Amino acid sequence: MITPGAAVIVDVETTDLDGAVIEVAVIDASSGDVLLDTLVDPGPVRIAPEAGAVHGISAIDLLRAPRWCDVAWQMCAAVSGRVILAYNADFDHGRITADCHRANVVCDMTDRGRWQCVMAARSVALGTRLRLAGGHRALSDARATRSVLLGLAEGRAAA
């Protein structure tokens, strides 16, 4: 089982593969409690049609969303003192770090040493790489990652 309070699961959706964060979710890895779930206004960065087709988020959805500089501080508080888990940690860490740099936000969540990749652990256990079946929204992907993590903890890598 996962030690309560030890780790969080993070997922982001972006304007494109190298783009700005437009949605972020953070859940407690042990309980599944939602610690942060918000859309993010990327400023002048447009959502690529290919990305919009995947996650279904449009510019209209982001009209009243907070900017990254405000969301980042909420996220820093949510992940404080915990290991940060993500299904594709390189991607999520990279996008979060890029947005923190762009917004001049300094927070230890950009330290790659705090992050662990659930996809890598699952791939080692299975001997192959599987896609996450989360629906491509940040909260549903974070929850799907938690299901995979719980399966790994119970010896069920294909969960």
One-character DSSP codes across 28-84: ETTT--EEEEEE-B-TTPPPPHHHHHHH---TGGGTTPPBHHHHHHHHHHHHTTSEE
CA dist 31 → 8, 27, 86, 137, 150 (Å):
10, 8, 16, 20, 11
pLDDT tens digit string along 135-156?
778 999 999 999 889 888 887 6
What kind and span of H or E run contains 22? strand 21-28
If you average pLDDT over residues 51-73, what whole number do you get? 94
Structural domain spans, the chain = 7-153
Looking at per-residue confidence, does 132 or 89 come out higher? 89
Residue 115 is predicted with a pLDDT of 97
If you average pLDDT over residues 23-51, what whole number do you get? 96
Q: Can you give the pTM of this predicted structure?
A: 0.89
Asked whether residue 57 carries a pLDDT value surpassing 80, the answer given is yes
pLDDT-derived band at 96 (thresholds 50, 70, 90) equals very high
Residue 121 is predicted with a pLDDT of 79
Fold of 7-153: Nucleotidyltransferase; domain 5 (3.30.420)
